[in-house]
Copies of this chain bind each other. A is one copy, B any other.
Amino acid sequence: MEAFSDGVLAIIITIMILEIKVPVSSEFISLKPLLPIVLSYVLSFIYIGIYWNNHHHMMHTLKHVTGDILWANLHLLFWLSLIPFVTGWIGENEFAKAPMVLYGIILLMAAIAYFILQRRIIRNQGTGSILSKAIGKDVKGKISPVLYLAAIGLCWISTWISGILYVIVAVMWIVPDKRIEVIFRSEEFK
């Protein structure tokens, strides 16, 4: 299951580059309209990177795969697969309202899908679940949807604030979580 998920995430993260169309002119100035596209690409690249990173860790705690975990996983991949589309829409419209709202909705749905997948795996592992220990109170997992919702709502006031919120959530996830790494390592997690 991990090979397939890794493949899908690798493709999602890479085909986004196809949204950055080669400019017709050969002048430096022709790169300027590409700036919002590149910025939205960078943000989505980081988001997919975060999901890949966390997904990868989570999958390694998995003992055996059941049908409901498979479908919870595909459900997550579905929402993530929409990110290249919405990223292209944002980039080509310079962070306009509708694309920014849709971006938040897709991130929210992906977060919910990730949460469902996580619950299924923990339930499957029973008491003493290593994943359950690793995520602890899962503060980040609980704050993120709230911030996405806030960002969606704030699009009607200022898409800048929404954009900053999306960046904050990403940064929050990149900052390493020493405690979790320690648990994973102590459990002979490679």
* In the assembled complex, A139 has its CB within 8 A of some CB on chain B: no
Binds B, one of A64-72, A111-119, A143-151: A64-72
**Set B9, B42, B77, B89: member contacting A4, Cβ < 8 A:** B9
* In the assembled complex, A157 has its CB within 8 A of some CB on chain B: no
A66 to B98, Cβ gap below 8 A? Answer: no
Residues of A within 8 A of B (CB-CB), count? 63
B56 to A22, Cβ gap below 8 A? Answer: no
Q: Which residues 80-108 of A sit at the B interface, judged by CB distance below 8 A?
A: 81-82, 84-85, 88-89, 92-93, 96-99, 101-102
**What is A's interface to B at a CB cutoff of 8 Å?**
1-4, 6-15, 17-20, 22-24, 26-28, 30-31, 42, 45-46, 49, 52-53, 56, 64-68, 70-71, 74, 77-78, 81-82, 84-85, 88-89, 92-93, 96-99, 101-102, 174, 176-177, 181, 185, 190
